[in-house]
Amino acid sequence: MHRSLSIQGHSSGVIHLEKPYNVLIAGVGGQGNLLCGRVLAEAAISEGHRPTIGETFGASRRGGTVFTHVRIGNRDLSPLIPRGTVDMLIGLELMESLRAAVDYCGEHTVAVVSTAIVQTMQCVPGAKKYPPLAGILDVMSSICASVSAVDPMGALGEAKYKRVLNSFMLGAALASGIVPLKADRVRDSLTRLMQPVDLNVAAFDEGLKATAVVQARDSTAH
């Protein structure tokens, strides 16, 4: 509990946000989705903003859809991002990124998504086929302003990526340069909140350097 935190007395250089900056983190339960939102929110606090975190989850327990809504502004906001007004979509899981795009993203959304997938209960036994990467990115690029797909498995290796996927994706999102937070602040906040620290910081820095494996921008949509 942050007994020392207060809304006054923050460092200089506060960016005054006229409109809230909306970050949606899409994934499935167990991917560290909420913690990811917490890291961004604490970084935002350290930069003098007043973030609000909301959460939506499907009617599922383990392995269900989880969206974390981080709204960075200067007053308490509705915990859920109004539809179509996501500024940054961080997709921890590919199909959940599509679900988030369909429900919440719009023509101003910059999406940074992981190509890593988590099979659904119906896909694992083979009852349904997981949608193809190209199909997902095609639809997403028609909804969003831009979509960058990064490959955490390729960057971190199969053994490691699941543990630090969220830190890596935070780095990749920050690398887009449009999140109104400094990478150093996010790294500090990550150092305070994520365990083990070294692995997560390394994954975050790896994410900052990540280059998109697919970059899609739909020129016809808007």
Partner 1 sequence: MSGNEAMAEGAIEAGVGFCASYPGTPSTEITESLMRSASDRGIYVEWSTNEKVALEAASAASWVGIPALCPMKSLGLNVAADFLLNLNLSGSGRGGLVIVVCDDPEGHSSSNEQDSRFYAKAAMLPMLEPSTGQEAREAILHAFDLSRRHEVPVIVRSTTRLSHSSSLVSVGPLPRATPVASSSFPRGLFNVPRPAMKHRELLDKIRLVAAEFEQSTLNRLNASPDTKTLLISSGICQRYSEEALALVGTENTGSLGLVTTNPIPAGLIEKAIARVDRVLFVEETDPFLEDEIRSLSADLSVPGRPRFYGKRTKTLPAWGEMSVDHVVEALSAVLGVPHEKELQPAQDARARGAKLLIPRPLTFCAGCTHRNVYWALRQEKKRRGGRLVVAGDIGCYSMGVFYDEAMNTMQAMGSGIGTACGLGQLGRFGFESAVVAVAGDSTFFHACLPALVNARHKNANLTFLILDNETTAMTGFQSHPGSATQDKGQRRISIRDLVQAVGPDYMTTSDSIEISPLVELVHTAIAKDGLKVLILKGVCRLEQQRRGVLHEDLRRVSVDPALCRGEKCKICFSQFGCTAIGWLPKEKRATILDEVCVRCASCIGVCPYKAIRRE
Under a CB-based contact definition with an 8 Å cutoff, are residues 152 and 112 in contact? no
Residue 14 in the binding site for partner 1 (CB under 8 A)? no
The Cβ of residue 177 has, within 10 Å, a number of other Cβ atoms equal to 8
The span from the CA of 61 to the CA of 47, in Å, is 34
Q: Which two tokens mark 82?
A: 């109004």
Q: How many residues bind partner 1 (CB under 8 A)?
A: 60
Residues 125-144 that bind partner 1 (CB under 8 A): 125-128, 130-131, 135-136, 139-140, 142-143
Our CB check for partner 1 shows the closer of 70 and 186 to be 70
- The residues, ordered by sequence, that sit 6+ positions from 196 with a Cβ below 8 Å of its Cβ are none
Residue span binding partner 1 (CB under 8 A) among the ranges 81-89, 162-170, 188-196, 201-209: 81-89
Under a CB-based contact definition with an 8 Å cutoff, are residues 67 and 20 in contact? no
Residue 192 in the binding site for partner 1 (CB under 8 A)? no
The β-bridge relationship of strands 88-91 and 65-73 is unpaired
Residues 25-54 that bind partner 1 (CB under 8 A): 28, 38, 41, 45, 50-54
- Which positions touch partner 1 (CB under 8 A)? 1-3, 5-7, 28, 38, 41, 45, 50-55, 57-65, 76-80, 82-85, 95, 98-99, 101-102, 106-107, 120-128, 130-131, 135-136, 139-140, 142-143, 221-222
